[in-house]
Amino acid sequence: MYFGLSEEQSFFKDNVKKYLEDNASLDQIRKIASGNESNIGKEIHQGFLNLGVNGLLVPEEFGGLGLDLLFAAVVSESLGACVGPVPYIAPYVMAPTAIMAAGSQVQKENYLTKIASNEILMGVGFSEFIGSRNDAGLTFADGALKGRAMFVMDAQVATHFLLADNLGQMFIVDAKDSGVKIVTLTTVDKTRQYAEIICKDVPADLLELSCLSIDPISKSIDAGRIMLAADTLGASQAMIDQAVDYAKERKQFGRAIGSFQAVKHMCAEMVADLEPCYALVWHAAHCHDSSPDESKLMACHAKAHVSEMGKGIAKKATEVHGGMGFTDLLGLHYWFKRIGVNRQILGSPELVREEAMQSQL
Amino acid sequence: MDLEYGPEYQEFTKEVELFCKKYSGLSFLSSRETALAVLTNPEVSSDGPKMLRTEWQKILIDHGYFARAVPKEYGGYGGEADMLKSRIIAAEFSKFKTPAAMGGQGIDMLVPTLLEMGTEEQKQAYIKPTLHGEMIWCQGYSEPGAGSDLASLQTKGELINGEWIINGQKIWTSTAQFSQMCFCLVRTEPDAPKHAGISYLLIPMDASGIEIRPLVDMTLKPGFNEVFFTDVKIPEGNIIGKRGEGWAVANATLGHERGSLAPPDATMNRVNMLIHLMKKETLNGKPLIEHPIYRDRLMQIQGKVLAQQSHGLRLLSAKLNPGTDVKIGKMIQKLTGTELRHELEGLAIDVMGEIGTLYEQSPHIKNDGTWQFIYMYFLGLIIGGGTSQIQKNIIAERGLGLPKEPKIQGA
């Protein structure tokens, strides 16, 4: 019996983190966030791909590494820790998971191979299957998609979109098609990109098995939720580490503020809240691969619970920094906002918990 | 990640399962024993076969389901320590509602201390009757003036003519009224610094000069006591470790206590009981579980408990595979485990509304009133064994390296 990361997984996690620390410093992230320096983003993305992340989940027969979801989760954790400004969850986790679960042999060969060789990059928009806002939604007729998809992840750099209607049918469309319009949605989190995709009779490739059951899209959403949980986990740990360091250094009334119980207890509470989240995220990733009966429940609880803990930590860690935490000088707000957006994407905690309940009734 | 225990353990699970089925729903005779059973394990059910607590204890030891790694010569089973087997035993017993072995402070705290630090003579004299439930112990640590700051305790022990003469008062002494013995922290070196002046003494509760007064707690069930010592005489040899080493001896046993206060698997069993209750009970004719707010709160708690259960697996794995760093992971257990259990029991009361307030033998009471009882009982555990606030100090100072508060002169 062994519960935890393997040596390879730990090594991979550290590697991704080191790459980001070296190449995506807070200064670089500020430049990307300003919106005028898209080249920096491209360079960081290219180096990130050199680590092999795009083919991580793609089976070996299609040119990928065929690793398990726990590997993908530790990458996500490192991205969260460094507020990594690169596409990841949509193109390299959700898209391959969806295609493996629902694609025909031809579709798998076509898309998975190209994901692994980095010829294509898929933005993913499943929001309308989870819960439609602003009356958005897509309809599919005569081989073409019509309508709007909101909060499509990593849309701006995508060559293709993987979209869903409210029945859970999944479609792949070409981002360059003349019927596609991409409208950038500016969220508080400038480290990642979201867009509204408007489709006017866009030719769409229906993933074959997704019209038979919602299991494939559900599997892909579960994987995405576990990744978001892992991202929040890494971001929360980074905020705690910064808060604890600050509490040791900053002096008021002649002593380090971390010696006051009011501050010290906030730090202890953050740790007590976050520490069990590691095991929950790892366990959920493991169940996604090996334990289909529990996987829905575990993925939902990982997403909802880590979102709740992350929200509290983002607030407390900012408060430990006092006024400095509120400024742009420390850049703590990049983590705060990342955690805040992760919480809502692919289902807010209340929606996800309702799915958790339904999965056991 | 590999969550399989292996074929050897599958066999063992089957064996335990058969045993548990046989004794499912067992309950105990004699009112004294039943009272103790309630104190040490508030969830014992009451239908099924009946026997004496001590008989049951012996059956469990004979099968290796209790005191598994304690040597035979001291009254244990004499097997290898095996954490996975312990876990299987706990899980199967809980699944079949078979009562677990008697716990209590003698078994949970004194026996491990004796095994680690006792003399051969002490091991021979005390371990067997304690494991077999024939010798009940109480813990004499806290005093009215020494709670969170335990090391400031003042109960005095003087060695005169080869006997300890003990004077002072202890408080929060669970099971003192049933106990034959007390393991007690006593100040024997008044001139030494506060932590270095304490000894760990073993006091027979029938010695003259001991007075026990019940201290009724909010649950109104028999629980705590105050114990007064007036010129109580005990033999010089009734000491574990040397004079002045009592603080170190006691810290070894506090470690045994904290980890075991609120195991997440037991909390998950209560979550499942709550789900069952919410499917059965209704509000305006509709099952509680269909009420969106109640069900969301239920799911919030289930998520927290799942996180703690997974965390428990991580800690178990760290014990089986040395070298994994889970220092902070262990430190948070007492805090998070007791707080979560209290929150869960409180949710059950909330979903029942007015019905949730019923207590004792009231008509319409659900699950024998255990929700209210455990809700209050766990508030006691949040405070006892190092309060939640003390736990946070420990996590912050020893876990995160934050500075201690400046010492006040003379304290």
Which pLDDT tens digit goes with each residue over B287-324? 999 999 999 999 999 999 999 999 999 999 998 988 88
Nearest CA in chain B to A284: B310
pLDDT given at position B394: 95
CA of A253 to nearest chain B CA: how many angstroms apart?
A: 12
| H helices present in chain A, as ranges | 7-23, 26-34, 38-50, 69-81, 95-102, 105-107, 113-116, 127-130, 215-249, 261-290, 292-320, 323-326, 333-344, 349-358
Closest CA to A193 of A42, A347, A71, A81: A42
Residues of B in contact with A267 (CB under 8 A): 396, 400, 402
pLDDT at A285: 98
Residue B36 has pLDDT above 80, yes or no: no
Is residue B41 within 8 Å of B99, Cβ to Cβ?
A: yes
In contact, A91 and A54? CB cutoff 8 Å: yes
- Ranges of CATH 2.40.110.10 domains, chain B: 112-247
B39 — pLDDT class (breaks 50, 70, 90)? low
Amino acid at A33: A
Question: Which two tokens mark B236?
Answer: 């010089």
Chain A CB contacts of B402 under 8 Å are: 244, 247-248, 256, 258-259, 264, 267
Task: Report the C-alpha gap between B116 and B257 in whole angstroms.
Answer: 15
Pick the closest to residue B225 from B182, B170, B185, B173 (CA basis). B173
Block residue for tokens 């004077």:
B167
- Number of A/B CB contacts below 8 angstroms equals 152
The yes-or-no verdict on residue B254 having pLDDT over 80 is no
Matching CATH number, B261-399, of 3.30.450.40, 3.40.640.10, 1.20.140.10, 1.10.3720.10: 1.20.140.10
Residues of B in contact with A6 (CB under 8 A): 1
Q: CA A292, CA A299: separation in Å to the nearest integer? A: 11
What is the average per-residue pLDDT within B270-282? 96
CA distance linking residue B53 with residue B29, whole number of Å:
7
| Amino acid A172: pLDDT | 98
Chain A contact set for B329 (CB, 8 A) = 275
What's the gap in Å between the CA of B325 and the closest CA on chain A? 11
The torsion defined by the Cα of B302, B303, B307 and B308, in degrees rounded to 10, comes to -30
Predicted ipTM of the assembly = 0.96
Contact A1 B308 (CB under 8 A): no
Q: E strand or H helix at B280, and its extent?
A: helix B264-280
Name the segment(s) of chain B with CATH classification 1.20.140.10.
261-399
Residues A69/A27, Cβ–Cβ less than 8 Å:
no
What is the number of alpha carbons within 13 Å of residue B152 lying toward its C-beta? 8
- Cβ contact, residue pair A354, B2, below 8 Å: no
| Gap between the Cα atoms of B216 and B56, Å rounded | 29
> Which amino acid is it at A135?
D
Q: Is the pLDDT of residue B44 over 60?
A: no
**pLDDT at position B188, please?**
97
Residue-wise DSSP of B306-355 = HHHHHHHHHHHHHHHSTT---HHHHHTHHHHHHHHHHHHHHHHHHHHGGG
Torsion region of A4: left, alpha or beta (phi above 0 gives left; psi -120 to 50 gives alpha):
left
Give the residue from B323, B247, B269, B310 showing the smallest Cα distance to B41.
B269
The pLDDT of residue B330 is above 90: yes
Query: Given its phi and psi angles, is residue A170 left (phi above 0), alpha (psi -120 to 50 degrees) or beta?
Result: beta
Q: What is the residue-averaged pLDDT of chain B? A: 91
Closest-CA residue of B relative to A299 is B303
Residue B34's pLDDT band (cuts 50, 70, 90):
low
Asked if pLDDT for residue B260 goes beyond 90, the answer is no
Could you tell me the domains of chain A?
7-88+105-116 (1.10.540), 122-211 (2.40.110.10), 215-358 (1.20.140.10)
- Compute the distance between CA of residue A45 and CA of residue A193 in angstroms, rounded to an integer: 13
User: What is residue B261's predicted lDDT score, i.e. its pLDDT?
Assistant: 78
Q: How confident is the model at residue B362 (pLDDT cuts 50, 70, 90)?
A: very high
Q: Residues of A near B (CB-CB distance < 8 A)?
A: 1-6, 70, 244, 247-248, 255-256, 258-261, 264-265, 267-269, 271-272, 275-280, 282-283, 286, 297-298, 301, 304-305, 308, 350, 353-354, 356-357, 360-361
pLDDT of residue B42: 54
A357 CA: distance to closest CA in chain B (Å): 7
Q: What is the DSSP letter of A258?
A: G
What is the C-alpha end-to-end distance of chain A, expressed in Å?
Answer: 31
Task: Tell me the pLDDT of chain A (361 aa) as tens digits.
Answer: 999 999 999 999 999 999 999 999 999 999 999 987 778 999 999 999 999 999 999 999 999 999 999 999 999 999 999 999 999 999 999 999 999 999 999 999 999 999 999 999 999 999 999 999 999 999 999 999 999 999 999 999 999 999 999 999 999 999 999 999 999 999 999 999 999 999 999 999 999 999 999 999 999 999 999 999 999 999 999 999 999 999 999 999 999 999 999 999 999 999 999 999 999 999 999 999 999 999 999 999 999 999 999 999 999 999 999 999 999 999 999 999 999 999 999 999 999 999 999 999 8
Q: Quickly state the pLDDT bin for B162 (edges 50, 70, 90).
A: very high
Interchain contact, A282 vs B1, CB within 8 Å:
yes
CB-nearest to A2 from B300, B321, B395 is B321
Mind telling me how many Å the CA of A55 is from chain B's nearest CA?
21
Residues 6+ apart with CB under 8 A from A3: A279, A282, A283, B1, B3, B310, B313, B314, B316, B317
Other beta carbons less than 10 A from residue B163's beta carbon: 14
* Residues in chain B within 8 Å Cβ distance of A305: 300, 303-304, 306-307
Q: Contact A350/B296, CB-based, under 8 Å? A: yes
Residue B74, pLDDT above cutoff 70: yes
Which of A343 and B90 is assigned the larger pLDDT? A343
HSE, CB side, 13 Å, CA atoms: give it for residue B338: 24
Min Cα distance A350 → chain B (Å) is: 7
Beta strands B286-287; B198-204: pairing state: unpaired
Q: Which residues of A touch B292 (CB under 8 A)?
A: 354
**pLDDT higher than threshold 70 for residue B107:** yes
* B257 among known catalytic residues: yes
User: In one letter, which amino acid is B68?
Assistant: R
Helix (H) or strand (E) holding B112: helix B111-117
Q: Are B1 and A4 in contact (CB < 8 Å)?
A: yes
H-helix or E-strand containing B56?
Answer: helix B53-63
Higher pLDDT, B263 or A98: A98
Would you state the pLDDT for residue B33? 60
**pLDDT reported for residue B37:** 65
What band does B102 get if pLDDT is binned at 50, 70 and 90?
A: confident
Interface touch B402/A265, C-beta < 8 Å:
no
Q: State the pLDDT at residue A215.
A: 97
- Cβ distance A275 to B320 less than 8 Å, yes or no, reads no
Locus of tokens 């530790």: A74
Query: CA-to-CA distance for B314 and A279, rounded, in angstroms?
Result: 6
pLDDT at position A30:
95
The nearest CA of chain A is from the CA of B275 a distance in Å of 10
Residues of A in contact with B397 (CB under 8 A): 264
- How long, in residues, is chain B? 411
Contact B396 A6 (CB under 8 A): no
Nearest residue, CB atoms, A3 vs list B303, B317, B395: B317
A4 SS3 class: coil
Average of per-residue pLDDT across B78-98: 89
| Residue A258 to residue B406, Cβ atoms within 8 A | no
- pLDDT number for residue B222: 77
CA–centroid distance for B3 within its chain = 28
> E strands, B89-155, where?
137-140
Q: B303 to chain A: which residues are within 8 Å by CB?
A: 280, 301, 304-305, 308, 353, 356
Which secondary-structure segment (H or E) carries B63? helix B53-63
Out of B275, B299, B405, whose CB is closest to A259? B405
Minimal C-alpha gap between B329 and chain A (Å): 6
Residue B262: per-residue pLDDT = 85
Q: Is the pLDDT of residue B47 over 60?
A: no
Which has the minimum average pLDDT: A68-72, B113-117, B384-388, B397-401? B384-388
> Which is the catalytic residue, given B15, B17, B158, B257?
B257
- Out of A4, A255, A353, name the one closest to residue B317 (CB): A4
Task: Match domain B112-247 to its CATH number in 3.40.50.150, 2.170.190.11, 3.10.20.70, 2.40.110.10.
Answer: 2.40.110.10
The pLDDT, as a whole number, for residue B253 is 65
pLDDT > 70? residue B18 = yes
A282 contact residues in B (CB cutoff 8 A)? 1, 310, 314
Q: Indicate the CATH number for domain B7-103.
A: 1.10.540
| Encoded tokens for B291 | 């009420």
